[in-house]
């Protein structure tokens, strides 16, 4: 057996960068980096490389960007490296069984949830939306299912009351990077063994759509606050007032009974915007008008006061 394992790394977005850095700094032999093709980005729609490609180029790694991983040419190229491990972190394409069989010691995936909960593409956001107080990262051996493979290691973190998807994303990415190195070392040295998931406890975290950001004022203040934090930074939580779209960037739930219909502006301090919900009141802390920028509500109310009794939809 070689003294150090050889690894092919497959990842694409920002979440996959800390794991890539951890592997690059380790004693493992990273032979190849695979990521998604460059995509149009920004107002100019110029082709931009994925974050993992940018990181790989800084280290001088070879990078492949197959439009389709099932392409025979790509599969042959991958097989030619004879990797001990395939490491997959938010790559963005489903890998067929033929690819999963290539690495000698298996394909390891880093998933941002405590499996079997929140399988699927948006585990960070749905953990916040559903009011979880804890989440984490799981490393697993990949199979052809969606996050159904046998688990290897996990690490947890509390979900704080002020966590957004962005802050939780960054924390979980760091946890995942540390877990990944520990996982490969344990499997390589024969001290870590996979364990099956309890599939009866599985939940699913579907892909987010823009409509997931639409606020339903019939929900409780705590549920809407969780939605706002989960939709930050994308797609953003939004509602309508006088047929104009408003984004709500930050809010604070206030317990108590409101006799006003959900969506109604209710009394608060002079520089506040408080809105009744199905249970409790939501104090809006940062807001963005249809053609404006994100600003504190106090500043917004000075320029565009909203009267008591006005209704948000």
Do 214 and 197 lie in one domain? The reply is: no
- Are 197 and 293 found together in one domain? no
* The pLDDT of residue 1: 58
Last residue of a domain, one of 184, 201, 218: 201
Tell whether the model's pLDDT for residue 2 goes beyond 80.
no
Map tokens 């439009």 to a residue. 67
Q: Count the domains in the chain.
A: 2
Does 310 fall in a domain?
Answer: no
Nearest to 10 by CA among 33, 31, 28: 33
pLDDT tens per residue, range 24-46: 999 999 999 999 999 998 778 89
Domain boundary among 156, 181, 201: 201
Q: List pLDDT tens digits, range 190-246.
A: 999 999 999 999 999 999 999 999 999 999 999 999 999 999 999 999 999 999 999
SS3 63: strand
pLDDT in tens, 249-288: 999 999 988 899 999 999 998 889 999 999 999 999 999 9
CA–CA separation, 182 vs 237, rounded Å?
37
Q: Which two tokens stand for residue 298?
A: 């106090």
263 and 141 in a common domain = no
| 67 and 151 assigned to the same domain | yes
Report d(CA 287, CA 25) in Å as an integer. 42
CATH number at residue 237: 3.10.25.10
Q: What is the largest CA-CA distance in the chain?
A: 74
Q: For residue 185, what are the domain limits? A: 6-201
Evaluate whether residue 308 is within a structural domain: no
Question: 235 and 163, same structural domain?
Answer: no
Looking at the structure, tell me whether residues 217 and 190 fall in a common domain: no
Q: In this predicted model, what pLDDT tens digit does every residue of 168-202 receive, in sequence order?
A: 999 999 999 999 999 999 999 999 999 999 999 99
Residue that is last in its domain, among 137, 169, 201: 201
Same domain? 57 vs 162: yes
The answer to whether residue 1 sits within a structural domain is no
Statement to judge: residues 275 and 169 lie in one domain: no
Let me know if residue 309 belongs to a domain: no
Which helix (H) or strand (E) segment holds residue 47: the answer is strand 46-48
**Per-residue pLDDT, 301:** 93
CATH number at 184 reads 3.40.50.170
Does residue 313 sit within a domain? Answer: no
Q: Which residues pair with 46 in a beta bridge?
A: 41
C-alpha separations of 215 from 199, 209, 242, 280, 284 in Å:
32, 13, 15, 15, 13
Helices (H), 26-71: 51-59
Mean pLDDT of the chain: 96
Same domain flag for 215 and 165: no
Q: pLDDT tens across 86-122, in order?
A: 999 999 999 999 999 999 999 999 999 999 999 999 9
pLDDT of 146 > 70? The answer is yes
Do 189 and 294 sit in the same domain of this protein?
Answer: no
Helix (H, G, I), strand (E, B) or coil at 106: coil
Do 58 and 150 lie in a common domain?
A: yes
- Spatial separation of the C-alpha atoms in residues 40 and 47, rounded to whole Å: 4
Statement to judge: residues 138 and 215 lie in one domain = no
Q: How much of the chain, in percent, has pLDDT values that exceed 70? A: 99
Kindly state whether residue 311 falls inside one of the protein's structural domains.
no
């Amino acid at each position: 057996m070689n003294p150090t394992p050889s690894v092919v790394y497959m990842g694409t977005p920002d979440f996959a960068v800390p794991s890539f850095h951890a592997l690059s700094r380790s004693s493992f032999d990273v032979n190849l980096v695979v990521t998604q093709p460059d995509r149009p980005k920004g107002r100019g729609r110029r082709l931009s490389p994925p974050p993992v490609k940018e990181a790989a180029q800084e280290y001088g790694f070879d990078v492949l960007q197959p439009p389709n991983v099932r392409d025979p040419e790509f599969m042959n190229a991958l097989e030619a490296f004879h990797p001990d491990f395939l490491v997959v972190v938010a790559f963005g394409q489903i890998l067929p069984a033929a690819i999963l069989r290539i690495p000698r010691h298996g394909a390891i995936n880093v998933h941002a949830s405590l499996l079997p909960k929140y399988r699927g593409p948006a585990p960070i956001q749905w953990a916040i939306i559903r009011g979880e107080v804890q989440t984490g990262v799981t490393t697993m051996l990949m199979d052809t299912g969606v996050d159904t493979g046998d688990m290897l290691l996990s690490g947890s973190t509390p979900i704080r009351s002020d966590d957004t998807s962005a802050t939780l994303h960054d924390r979980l990415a760091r946890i995942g990077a540390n877990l990944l190195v520990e996982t490969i070392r344990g499997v390589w040295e024969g001290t870590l063994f996979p364990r099956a998931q309890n599939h009866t406890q599985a939940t699913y975290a579907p892909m987010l759509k823009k409509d997931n950001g639409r606020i339903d004022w019939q929900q409780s203040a705590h549920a809407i606050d969780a939605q706002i934090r989960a939709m930050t930074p994308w797609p953003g939580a939004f509602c309508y007032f006088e047929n104009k779209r408003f984004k709500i960037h930050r809010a604070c739930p206030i317990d108590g009974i409101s006799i006003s219909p959900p969506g109604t502006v209710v009394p608060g301090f002079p520089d506040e915007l408080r809105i009744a919900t199905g249970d409790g009141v939501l104090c809006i802390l940062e807001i963005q008008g249809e053609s404006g920028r994100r600003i504190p509500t106090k500043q917004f109310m000075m320029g565009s006061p909203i009267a008591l009794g006005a209704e948000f939809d």
